Amino acid sequence: MSLTARRSLRTRLLAAAGAGALVLGLAAVAAPSAIAESATPAPTGGAAGGKVTFTIGMTTDIDSANPFTGIVAEAYEIFQMMYPTLTDYSAEDFSTVPGMAESWEESADKLTWTYKIRPGMKWSDGQPMTAADAAYSINRVKNGRYERINYGSYVTNIIKAEAPDDTTLVVKLKKPTPVMLHLAIYILPEHVWKDISEADVKKFKNEPTPGNPIVSGGPFVFVERQVGQFIRMEANPNYWAGKPAIDEVVFRVYGNEDSEAQALKKGEIDFADSLTPNVFNSLKDVAGIGTVSAAYPGFNELAFNTGAALADGTPIGDGNPLLKDPKLRQAMAWAIDRQALVDKVLGGLGSPGSTVIPPNYPLLHLDPADPVGYDPDKAGQLLDAAGYKMGPDNVRVSADGQPLSFRLFGRSNSTTSKKSVEFIKGYLAAVGIQVTVTNLGDSPLTEKIGQGNYDMFEWGWVVDPDPDYQLSTFTCGKRSYKDGGTIYPDLSDSFFCDPAYDKLYEQQSTETDPAKRAEIVKQMQQILYDQTPYVVTYYYTDPQAYRSDRFTGFVPQPSPDGVLLFQWGTWSYDNIKPVSADTGGSTDGTAAAGATSGSGTSWGLIVGIIVLVLIAGGAGFGLARRKATDQDDRE
């Protein structure tokens, strides 16, 4: 399951294999900064040595560099730096602007779209980048089973794409569709990908080897990766919008947000993404560091197993059947204090959640007329009315005697998720619903969800400006599928299936009038709100921090308080430049000042270290005690 429309979960995937993750965790404990140091491919910062390297810290490594496999937000960041799309979302307000296509036209019958591709573009290896590449990429998604998982919602109504010449792309449609304006399918180099068969693409890593960078059409070329440590990208001289001002972008993976923040203070990195609220707040007043609690279209949810089944309706998994009852799910929604989650889990950096299209998209977001609030008494009444009477030990039982006892899964590598599940557990216990919490790595959890072996889980999505993908995750057809005896997860992670909803989904996917479409989208949100496959717990902001003393030129999306990186598009990467380029290289002093000004709070760090050292010392003492037997004692 990919839990997040196109730029998925903020964090995911530490746990490729259980033990692997543990070793990582161990390494993070042992020496957070040591990882970073050993992984340093080049000195960071400003214009050191003529080569400008912009280093970004993140807490989640990419899950795959293959755009058909990767689902975490970090992976999409890499994809869009490498592969263009036909159109882009503007930095100002997400409106559609030219990308690889410089203009486009919808035919009178709305069934043919003609894109005019920019002439004279080249891939990073010098091969021409043409309409043929675009046609190839769209058709590949259209015709592939595996390729459709991430991008299928864009091609449902496409018959085929053709390239009559290098600068013309013609896409034929079965039905009119609004999605053609922002077809977020990455255009891949045909001369590379034609050699990767459909059977091989599942296992294809798309990672560079020394001397063989990944062929790129975007501003940067993927040149090096150390799994779990760093990703290095170099500027693409053939980029059609012009070579970026920075020569190199390095993504460095940190064990946690704390060490990421320390690295930012020390100047090891220039940008820190997806910080936790507490860490973010501690960076606010540090000189030389700019902070943005950026508006971001992400939400987190408490998801229910509403009856796991394959797309064809065959039941799978061991989910508790009681959760098929929407009344029970709705009662739980009343039991959860979303405002408290915002205050305590997000440190106030967000707002309570309601529907699956966040308020960042005001045209599409539904503010429910009859909002569900926090009211444990009402939750209790709803449960009583639905036949769930209070049983022994303060746990309610269903009419046929089953206790309301459920498994809840959180994400072990997400601080907010681990905290959220504790709160959810407490709130549900208060109304007589027992919850057993288990925190899992993202990979095992994804597998568990895909196979329907769960009752509830806490995770999040980031929602596309186009609602199609997000809405598709609740359709019957996006439930898991079976291939050769193995069950594979598709996009649905609640296994929600409602014919009325599916019908509306079809309608909105062919409605090209934005206002009418928005109306349908709102109806769909209402269905989801009433049926409650998800309790949308909160909408969060993205706390980002950067070295304002070193780099400038960030382009927020949306303007003016949006995210600086991890956007839709590469606006900031195209425009970031070292501060020294503006001020004539007089920034060394400022940078140094900035690096030391964090000492106000660093004594807390010192205490932490002392504690850890004491523990280690205790261990050492314990182990060395035999040798330490005092000679005096013997005599």
Partner 1 sequence: MTGQTTAVDPRTLSPRAIVWARRRRAWGRLAGQFRRNRAGMAGLVLMGLFVLLALLTPLLFSSSELDVTQATGGVYDPPSAQYWLGTDDSGRNVLALVAWGSRISLLVGLCATVISMVIGTAVGIMAGHYRGVFGGLLDRFTDWFLVIPFLPLAIVLATVLGRSLLNIIIVIGVTSWPGTARLIRAQTLSVEGRPYLERARALGAGNTHQMTRHVLPNVMPLVLANTTLAVSISILSETTLSFLGLGDPTAVSWGSILDDAFSAGAISQGAWWYLAPPGICVVLVVLAFNLVGRALEDILDPHGQGA
Site string for partner 1, 52-71 (x = CB under 8 A): --------------------
Q: Which residues of 273-297 are buried (b: 16+ CB within 10 A; e: fewer)?
A: bbbbbebbbbbeebebbbbbbbbbb
**What are the residues whose beta carbons fall under 8 Å from the beta carbon of 265, sequence distance 6 or more?**
283, 286, 289, 595, 598, 602
CB 25 → partner 1: shortest distance, Å? Answer: 6
Please name the residue that has the structure tokens 């079965």.
174
Report the site for partner 1 in 258-317 (rule: CB under 8 A): 258, 261-262, 276-279, 281-283
What's at 319, amino acid-wise? Answer: G
Is position 427 an interface residue for partner 1 (rule: CB under 8 A)? yes
CB 471 → partner 1: shortest distance, Å? Answer: 32
423 close to 410: Cβ distance less than 8 angstroms: no
What is the total count of residues that contact partner 1 (CB under 8 A)? 60
H or E segment to which residue 105 belongs: strand 101-106
**What are the residues whose beta carbons fall under 8 Å from the beta carbon of 625, sequence distance 6 or more?**
none
Is position 612 an interface residue for partner 1 (rule: CB under 8 A)? yes
Is position 621 an interface residue for partner 1 (rule: CB under 8 A)? yes
**Dihedral, CA of residue 138, residue 142, residue 148 and residue 150, to nearest 10:** 30
Please name the residue that has the structure tokens 């993750």.
21
Q: 3-class DSSP state for residue 368? A: coil
Is position 434 an interface residue for partner 1 (rule: CB under 8 A)? no
Site string for partner 1, 567-606 (x = CB under 8 A): ----------------------------------x-xxx-
Q: What are phi and psi of 352, to 5 degrees?
A: -60, 145
Q: Which is nearer to partner 1, 286 or 521 (CB)?
A: 286
Q: Which is nearer to partner 1, 277 or 556 (CB)?
A: 277
Span of 85-93, 219-227, 254-262, 512-520 interacting with partner 1 by CB under 8 A: 254-262
Q: 3-class DSSP state for residue 436? A: strand
How far is the CA of 472 from the CAs of 326, 348, 350, 459, in angstroms? 20, 30, 25, 17
Binding residue for partner 1, selected from 426, 447, 481, 577, defined by CB under 8 A: 426
326-335 and 376-385 helices cross at what angle (nearest 10)? 160
Is position 31 an interface residue for partner 1 (rule: CB under 8 A)? no
Distance between CA atoms of residues 128 and 131, nearest Å: 10
- Residue 292, both tokens: 């943005």
CB 423 → partner 1: shortest distance, Å? Answer: 5
Distance between CA atoms of residues 30 and 390, nearest Å: 48
Please name the residue that has the structure tokens 């037997």.
629
Binding residue for partner 1, selected from 344, 351, 477, 591, defined by CB under 8 A: 344
Span of 63-71, 451-459, 464-472, 612-620 interacting with partner 1 by CB under 8 A: 612-620
CB 612 → partner 1: shortest distance, Å? Answer: 7
Is position 618 an interface residue for partner 1 (rule: CB under 8 A)? yes
β-bridge partners, 209: 212
Is position 431 an interface residue for partner 1 (rule: CB under 8 A)? no
Site string for partner 1, 138-177 (x = CB under 8 A): ----------------------------------------
- By CB atoms closer than 10 A (0-12, 13-18, 19+), residue 553 is middle
319 close to 307: Cβ distance less than 8 angstroms: yes
Binding residue for partner 1, selected from 43, 49, 242, 608, defined by CB under 8 A: 608
Q: Which is nearer to partner 1, 7 or 12 (CB)?
A: 12
159 close to 180: Cβ distance less than 8 angstroms: no
- Residue 134, both tokens: 């675009």
Distance between CA atoms of residues 425 and 557, nearest Å: 36
How far is the CA of 393 from the CAs of 320, 402, 433, 612, in angstroms? 20, 14, 11, 40
CB 295 → partner 1: shortest distance, Å? Answer: 22
Q: Which is nearer to partner 1, 143 or 436 (CB)?
A: 436
CB 21 → partner 1: shortest distance, Å? Answer: 9
CB 36 → partner 1: shortest distance, Å? Answer: 16
DSSP state of 598: T
Distance between CA atoms of residues 33 and 38, nearest Å: 9
What's at 3, amino acid-wise? Answer: L
CB 306 → partner 1: shortest distance, Å? Answer: 25
Distance between CA atoms of residues 314 and 330, nearest Å: 25
CB 605 → partner 1: shortest distance, Å? Answer: 5
Q: Which is nearer to partner 1, 19 or 515 (CB)?
A: 19
Report the site for partner 1 in 406-425 (rule: CB under 8 A): 412, 415, 418-419, 422-423
Span of 389-397, 428-436, 497-505, 554-562 interacting with partner 1 by CB under 8 A: 428-436
Is position 405 an interface residue for partner 1 (rule: CB under 8 A)? no
Is position 18 an interface residue for partner 1 (rule: CB under 8 A)? yes
Span of 47-55, 173-181, 309-317, 616-624 interacting with partner 1 by CB under 8 A: 616-624
CB 432 → partner 1: shortest distance, Å? Answer: 14
Per DSSP, which regions of 52-99 are E strands? 53-58, 87-89, 96-98
Report the site for partner 1 in 542-561 (rule: CB under 8 A): none
How far is the CA of 617 from the CAs of 276, 368, 625, in angstroms? 30, 57, 12
Binding residue for partner 1, selected from 337, 490, 493, 549, defined by CB under 8 A: 337
Binding residue for partner 1, selected from 430, 527, 581, 591, defined by CB under 8 A: 430
Which parts of this chain interact with partner 1 (CB under 8 A)? 18-19, 22-23, 25-26, 29, 256-258, 261-262, 276-279, 281-283, 337, 340, 343-344, 347, 412, 415, 418-419, 422-423, 426-427, 429-430, 436-439, 601, 603-605, 607-608, 610-612, 614-615, 617-619, 621-623, 625, 629, 633-635
